[in-house]
Amino acid sequence: MTSLRSVRGTRDLVGEEMLAYRHVVTTAHRVAMRHGFQEIATPIFEFVDVFARPLGETSDVVSKEMYVFEDRGGERLALRPEFTAGVARAFISGAFGQALPVKLFCAGPAFRYERPQKGRYRQFHQIDAEILGAPEPLADIEVIALGNAILSELGLSEHVTLELNSLGDAESRMAYRENLVGYLERFRDDLSDDSRSRLERNPLRILDSKDKRDREIIEDAPQLGECFNEGSHRFYEEVLEGLEALGIPFQKNPKLVRGLDYYSHTAFEFTTKSLGAQGAVLAGGRYDGLIKTLGGQDTAGIGWAAGVERLSMLIEALPERARPIVVVPMGDGMELEALKLASDLRAQGFFVEYGFKGRVGQRLKRASQQNARFALMLGEDELAAGKVQLRDLDAGEQLEVDRAALGEHLPRQGNPATSESA
Ligand code: ATP
Ligand code: MG
């Protein structure tokens, strides 16, 4: 029965993995809001062209990795392989109004038909930040600072390195492209098949090749910076100065590229050595040409995306989970009274568990399995006297308290669903 298995490259998020996922997304969201970003959600499927046009029919993502299908109405659709193109499409359709710049944050699943392995799945999740309508280097700094702050809040600063490069403006990149192709032509026959086919189409992407022989050739290739005009130099300098002013450490990596034509100036990646081949955790760059490529007005853009699964795997310790208070009915006929007590406390914001059956002993045993902090026991006598038995499950002590004063004895905790403290 193939239909009862989960599809290759997809996973169920349960238990610790779900907690880690929620922790990453909640933390990223909180930090993004603090930086003045606005959350949006775009559809997980779009017309194929939304991705195919900006990413290019020949890019790996479009030619090999994208999930494309026809719906019942005959529309050619794709599951989103990334967020940026959908966000740009939403921008062009007027979703964010006229006032620029806009700072956007989103989170959710993305889909790529890849060979599944550790840190690489067919359905995975990203958090994503974009700033549209800001051609200034301060926007590059802002967007990198957000990524840095999220990683820091997740406790991952020690695990990651910010690698940084600049592709320069269109003019500089054209000049470089010629230089690079001139150099690489001399090694045409030694290049990998992939790289040879990129020589005409997308030579910058060759700098990114993982092939061993390619890497040797690239080692001595001309560098982007050699072809920079005045403006490109100044832009990069300002980005570097901003990062230094904020105390964000980085390493320049002159081989770091984003291959597509609409990328310019800043390219960056936060990488780790802890995940084997899946070293990139958060990657982004400036894409000033993208919105125009999609048919919108010329509008600057810069952003990044990070893989939630990769971030989750790096996290060593999750925040402590909230501990429930368990309400236990004592004696027959007390179930509904106990349930009402649980309901009252929940309405006051306490984290309360309530079992559906069992004797007092069984319920208390289950309470310790649930790591409960207190048990509240309610029998006929307590009900009549307006009291409850409050059992401290850590200390093993029990005292009788006035029901009206119960709130003073019980701990208020963070949201149990997110394992966040308040
Ligand atoms: P890689 O070089 O690992 O294939 P990429 O360049 O394709 O990454 P981007 O398109 O920049 O990745 O996506 C941003 C982030 O999304 C990556 O840095 C990574 O953390 C995550 N990511 C990309 N593809 C996957 C996947 N198949 N499974 C899990 N996470 C992924
Ligand atoms: Mg990839």
At residue 395, the pLDDT reads 95
As given in the structure block, the two tokens for residue 58 are 């020949």
Q: How confident is the model at residue 422 (pLDDT cuts 50, 70, 90)?
A: very low
Distance CA 22, CA 38 (A): 19
Alpha helices, DSSP H only, in 186-293? Answer: 193-201, 212-219, 230-245, 290-293
Give yes or no for residue 258 CB within 6 A of ligand 1: no
Q: Is the CB of 24 under 6 A from ligand 1?
A: no
pLDDT band (50, 70, 90) for residue 4: confident
pLDDT recorded at residue 259: 61
- Other beta carbons within 10 angstroms of residue 11's beta carbon come to 14
Residue ranges and CATH numbers for the domains of the chain are: 15-169+229-314 (3.30.930.10), 325-418 (3.40.50.800)
Q: Residue 418 above 80 pLDDT?
A: no
Choice between 170 and 422, residue whose per-residue pLDDT is larger = 170
**Cα 80 to ligand 1 centre (Å):** 13
CA distance 356 to 375: 15
Assess whether pLDDT exceeds 60 at residue 1.
Answer: no
Q: What is the structure's pLDDT at 421? A: 45
Q: Which of 106, 162, 309 to mutate to test the pocket of ligand 1 (most atoms within 8 A of CB)?
A: 309
pLDDT tens digits for range 371-390: 999 999 999 999 999 999 99
Task: Decide: residue 21, CB within 10 A, 0-12 exposed, 13-18 middle, 19+ buried.
Answer: middle
Which residues are within 8 A (CB) of 208 and not within 5 positions of it... i.e. 6 or more apart? 255, 256, 257, 259
Among 80, 120, 163, name the best residue to mutate to test ligand 1's pocket (greatest count of ligand atoms within 8 A of Cβ): 120
Q: What is the pLDDT of residue 414?
A: 61
Confidence of residue 5 (pLDDT cuts 50, 70, 90): very high
Ligand 1 contacts CB of residue 125 (under 6 A):
no
Q: Are 30 and 420 in contact (CB under 8 A)?
A: no
Angle CA(249)–CA(250)–CA(255) in degrees, nearest 5? 175
Residues 263 and 329: their CA atoms lie apart, in Å, by 64
When mean pLDDT is compared across 93-102, 295-304, 344-353, 409-418, the lowest value belongs to 409-418
How far is Cα 365 from Cα 360, in angstroms, rounded to an integer?
A: 9
Compute, in angstroms, the gap from residue 83 CA to the centroid of ligand 2: 14
Q: Would you state the pLDDT for residue 210?
A: 84
Q: Which residues contact 108 (CB under 8 A, 6 or more apart)?
A: 41, 44, 83, 125, 126
Going from the Cα of 347 to the center of ligand 2, the distance in angstroms, rounded, reads 46
Q: Which ligand 1 atom minimizes the distance to the CA of 116?
A: 27
Question: What separation in Å is there between the alpha carbon of 261 and the centre of ligand 2?
Answer: 18
pLDDT tens per residue, range 31-63: 999 999 999 999 999 999 999 888 777 677 887
- Return the pLDDT at 406: 93
**Per-residue pLDDT, 3:** 73
pLDDT for the residue 272: 94
- Separation CA 31–CA 150 (nearest Å): 6
CA distance 125 to 33: 19
Global pTM exceeds 0.85? yes
Q: Is 265 in the pocket of ligand 1 (CB under 6 A)?
A: no
Share above pLDDT 90 across residues of the chain, in percent, rounded to a whole number: 80
Q: How confident is the model over 112-135, as a mean pLDDT?
A: 96
Q: Residue 398 C-alpha to ligand 2 middle, in angstroms?
A: 58
pLDDT at 208: 82
Query: What pLDDT does residue 61 have?
Result: 81
Average pLDDT over residues 386-402: 96
Q: How confident is the model at residue 417 (pLDDT cuts 50, 70, 90)?
A: low
64-96 pLDDT, tens digit each: 899 999 999 999 999 999 999 999 999 999 988
Give me the pLDDT at residue 262, please: 78
Average pLDDT on 96-117 reads 94
